[in-house]
A = this chain, B = another copy of it.
Amino acid sequence: MGVRRTSGRDGVRRAAREAQAVPHATVGRLPGYLRALEETAADGAVLTSSDELAARAGVTPAQLRKDLSFLGSYGRRGVGYDVGHLREQITVALGLADVRRVLLVGVGNLGHALANYAGIAERGFVLVGLVDADPAVVGTTVAGLVVEPAADLAAVVARTGATIAVLTTPAAVAQRVCDELVAAGVVGVLTFAPCALRVPPHVDVRAVDVASELQILAFHDRARSVGGGVS
């Protein structure tokens, strides 16, 4: 920890080392930059600037340049950024150079919707398996995949080589399923279950809780009506 900025020779090894040092907050914004670059590319532009890209991504140009500087120096002063090249660099930085295999556990309403969500396949992932505990759902085909029983979870992970899982089970079973996923070798979990998940340090959890998001919006809504309305 605390790798101090050196004068900066040896290119490749530096890039590899620095990847470790990309701040969390920056990593969280990289997907937005990638999205912005894809929009720019779709418009046919070959070159872009921190001003344009930042505007598209909804951040300040200073923030964007700072963030990109953690990945390397991929722009040209006085000129801007090559859209295709920067896109490639961010793709590599995010680990999307090769497609990641995703397993979805819990094929209820939400799981069903996510399985059919095109954005997943379009942005570097393949859905490789579906698992559910409900016998009425097991065996049905969703998004081109046959739903497999919860009892086979470990086997499905092993067979598919999934490293990332999407968890859309009821909260009551989320921790148990998560433990099984981790034991089977999954290292990233995106959970929609409204409960905290405990995982070992080598596993990464991202939690999306729709009700929590609404509650955060409610706070600001309230603050607006109660407070004097300053800014």
Within 8 A of B (CB), among A196-231: 196-198, 201-202, 204, 206, 208-224, 226-227, 230-231
Q: Assess A164 versus B204: contact at CB under 8 Å? Given A56-B196, A109-B112.
A: no
Q: Mark A137-176, 1 if CB is under 8 A from B, else 0.
A: 0000000000000000000000000011010000000000
Contacting residues, chain B, for A109 (C-beta < 8 A): 112-113, 116-117
Question: Quick check: is A102 within 8 A (CB to CB) of the other chain?
Answer: yes
Tell whether, in the assembled complex, residue B120 and residue A215 are in contact, meaning their CB atoms are under 8 Å apart: no
Complex formed: what's the CA distance from A208 to B139 in Å? Answer: 30
Tell whether, in the assembled complex, residue A206 and residue B211 are in contact, meaning their CB atoms are under 8 Å apart: no
Select one of B28, B112, B122, B230 contacting A216, CB under 8 A. Answer: B28
- Chain B nearest CB, measured from A56 CB (Å): 7
Q: Which partner residue on chain B sits nearest A16 by CB separation? A: B226
Complex formed: what's the CA distance from A178 to B72 in Å? Answer: 36
Tell whether, in the assembled complex, residue B188 and residue A223 are in contact, meaning their CB atoms are under 8 Å apart: no
Q: Assess A95 versus B196: contact at CB under 8 Å? Given A31-B211, A214-B123, A215-B124.
A: no
Question: Quick check: is A62 within 8 A (CB to CB) of the other chain?
Answer: no
Select one of B206, B211, B217 contacting A122, CB under 8 A. Answer: B211
Tell whether, in the assembled complex, residue B163 and residue A221 are in contact, meaning their CB atoms are under 8 Å apart: yes
Contacting residues, chain B, for A230 (C-beta < 8 A): 20
Contacting residues, chain B, for A34 (C-beta < 8 A): 215
Complex formed: what's the CA distance from A164 to B218 in Å? Answer: 8
Q: Assess A206 versus B213: contact at CB under 8 Å? Given A57-B196, A198-B58.
A: yes
Within 8 A of B (CB), among A31-84: 31-32, 34-36, 39, 56-58
Complex formed: what's the CA distance from A124 to B223 in Å? Answer: 16
The 8 lowest CB-CB distance pairs between A and B, nearest first, are A95-B222, A188-B217, A58-B196, A31-B212, A109-B113, A123-B211, A31-B215, A95-B218
Chain A residues proximal to chain B, CB less than 8 Å: 16, 19-20, 22, 27-28, 30-32, 34-36, 39, 56-58, 93-96, 100, 102, 108-110, 112-114, 116-117, 119-120, 122-125, 163-164, 166, 187-190, 194-198, 201-202, 204, 206, 208-224, 226-227, 230-231
